[in-house]
């Protein structure tokens, strides 16, 4: 893999980091975290606590949509609907389990 040079950045990016679908999935998972934190999370838990759970859940949901070839809820190469469902399921589980 070659590094990608962006003229206005003082450093180079790894090629896998510049994939638009990866960036979009990361942003959608982050939006899901903050929506979940506002709407359903325990008040004593930080949004940063939930963020890794959302990334794992979104990734799992995306791959479920990819394997099942779900025709709904695609934005480019990202299965945002199944990814968001996966993120919310894992977020709900992380919210319910564990010490407060």
Pairing of strands 78-79, 4-5: unpaired
9 found inside a domain: no
In a domain, 14, yes or no: no
pLDDT value of position 44: 84
Mean pLDDT of the region 7-30? 78
Distances (CA, A) of 28 to 21, 33, 59, 79, 90: 10, 9, 11, 10, 15
Q: H helices of the chain, where?
A: 20-39, 47-68, 80-96
The model's pTM is 0.79
5 three-state secondary structure: strand
Domains of the chain: total: 1
Evaluate if residue 95 carries a pLDDT over 60: yes
Residue 88 lies in a domain: yes
Q: Is residue 11 part of a domain?
A: no
Bridge partners for 14 per DSSP: none
pLDDT in tens, 41-58: 888 888 888 999 999 999
Confirm whether 3 is domain-assigned. Answer: no
């Amino acid at each position: 893999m070659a590094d990608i040079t962006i003229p206005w950045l003082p450093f180079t990016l790894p090629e896998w980091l510049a994939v638009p679908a990866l960036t979009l999935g990361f942003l959608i998972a982050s939006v899901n975290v903050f929506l979940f934190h506002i709407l359903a999370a325990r008040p004593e838990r930080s949004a940063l606590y939930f963020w890794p759970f959302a990334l794992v859940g979104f990734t799992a949901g995306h791959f479920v949509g990819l394997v099942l070839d779900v025709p709904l809820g695609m934005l480019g190469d990202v299965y945002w609907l199944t990814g968001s469902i996966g993120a919310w399921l894992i977020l709900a589980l992380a919210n319910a389990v564990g010490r407060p």
